[in-house]
Chain A
Amino acid sequence: MKKEKTKSHFVGVRLTEEQKKALSKLEKTSDLSKTDILLRGLELLSEYYSLGLDRPPLNVELKKLEEEAMHHFQELKRIKRREESVREMVQELRDIDKIIDEYNGDKSALIQILLKIQAKNHWLPKPALMWVSERLDIPMSQILNVATFYKAFSLDPQGEHLVRVCLGTACHVRGGPKILDAAEQFLGVESGETTSDLKFTLESVNCIGCCALGPVMVVDDEYHGKLDSSKVGEILSNYRMKDMDRSEDKRKALPIRHEMRRGQSG
């Protein structure tokens, strides 16, 4: 039964003009009255206190996670409002929980879990690593060691398209390095880096096992073989063209380059 909304007044509280405007906006846009909201707030606070979230160590952890969430989504230029980033972060952490539960929280499954997170996000966001550290009870130093040891992981957001040039021995003798040079030249970045418009991440790989097609370049899941350096620019610009054909609305907000990326102006 919907309660009739009465006009609000505050007992013993003087509101500024701005606060009055905000309150009237809230009442117009939400279904809840001021007293509904206050009651809800008190309920949440009582749960908050009973869980011990107001005291150390949980209050520190909670604050840390909230800050990481804000930082993370601001970096991605996706979400600005506090409640949105917290809500999104809850969803992301629940997704990670699901992955960890698939492996029954087994510490030795760390690499498998990180591979799934990498596949989902195309990089390993810091809050995700903190959560894994928390759930699996593995020190952050060890997780960072694993994340930087294996080439499959990236601690920075990657571009929309992953360009991999094969530099296996067979491709090397068939001119693989020239293909990499041409790709670097065309994209304006070095191997291991992402273009400043975040469209392409260029990487070299040590053998895809398609030696008969050498030299090979793989863009996302498409293989381009029997290349010579003159074809590289054409192939890559086709991806640019395909993207430009898509309407602006459908394009996802692109992640920005993390500052930790080794000195590159792109």
Chain B
Amino acid sequence: MKSISLTIDGRNVKAQKGMTILQVAQSSDIEIPTLCHHEDLEPYGACRLCTVETIKNDKTKLVAACCYPVEDGLIVKTSSERVNKIRKIILELLLPLAPTGPLYALAEKYGLCECVKKSDEESEWRMIKELRFPAEKPTYCTLCGLCVRYCSEIKKGNVIGFIGRGVDRKISLVPEENCGFCRDCENICEGGKFLSLLEL
């Protein structure tokens, strides 16, 4: 297979044709935040947290690292003022919907919150910046689609699906299918309590 040479954050890295920027970065120990990505599933490109800056032929573009196929001579910046601003606002938009550990952990890196120790065993997350995008109540769902895709692509169960469109998009259990109660969807969910908050 043809070998490709590109630069990520100033480092020269080699890759195979057909790999995405995220795959190359992860194999070179370069960190790019993700939410809707899972190594066993097809790249989805929904959360946009993995947005990076790419430069080719003097043209700068913002792309989703999980989906963008690498090119020879591509220059990638995984972190810049522009990119960080975007990630910060995306996390600000998602946190009120799913105020849970994994999202707080991501948000901490962008200065939105901090982990405060309450006692030897307990610690809690506290917001540093005021939440500018309030949600009526948390849905504990970021619509990352991990549960839907896992149940469909890996388990071939198709017990969970998306319904609706736009701001009314939701996850739904499909009662006509036979759920085997493997609970893999619960384990894969980053947004929080899964089954208890599903709407039929």
Contact = CB atoms under 8 A, between A and B. Distances in A.
Interface of A: 130, 133, 139-142, 144-145, 148-149
Interface in B121-179: 148, 152, 158-165, 172, 174, 176-177
Contact of A139 (B158, B162, B164, B172): B158
Contacts of B174: 139-141, 144
Interface of B: 148, 152, 158-165, 172, 174, 176-177
Given A148-B164, A149-B164, A142 B176 contact: no
| Residue among B152, B164, B174 with the highest chain A CB neighbour number at 10 A | B174
Nearest 9 CB-CB pairs, A to B? A141-B161, A139-B158, A148-B163, A140-B176, A141-B174, A141-B158, A149-B165, A140-B174, A148-B164
A149 B158 CA distance: 17
Contacts of B164: 148-149
B160 A141 contact: yes
Contacts of A145: 161-163
Nearest to B200: A260
A63 to B, nearest CB: 14
Nearest to A151: B165
A142 B158 contact: yes
Contacts of A130: 176
A144 B160 CA distance: 10
Contacts of A140: 158, 161, 174, 176-177
Contacts of A149: 164-165
B165 A142 contact: no
Contact of A144 (B152, B161, B165): B161
Contacts of B165: 148-149
A142 B160 CA distance: 9
Nearest to A138: B158
17 contacts: A130-B176, A139-B158, A140-B158, A140-B161, A140-B176, A140-B177, A141-B152, A141-B159, A141-B161, A142-B158, A142-B161, A144-B163, A144-B172, A145-B162, A145-B163, A148-B163, A149-B165
Given A140-B161, A141-B159, A142-B158, 9 more contacts: A133-B176, A139-B158, A139-B174, A140-B158, A140-B174, A141-B148, A145-B161, A145-B163, A148-B163
A136 B176 CA distance: 16
Contacts of B158: 139-142
A20 B94 CA distance: 69
B152 A139 contact: yes
A141 B158 CA distance: 6
A117 to B, nearest CB: 17
A235 B192 CA distance: 51
A92 to B, nearest CB: 17
Nearest to B176: A140
A256 to B, nearest CB: 19
Nearest to A148: B163
Contacts of A139: 152, 158, 161, 174, 177
A133 B174 CA distance: 13
A68 B50 CA distance: 45
A89 B163 CA distance: 27
Contacts of B163: 144-145, 148
Nearest to B177: A140
Contacts of B148: 141
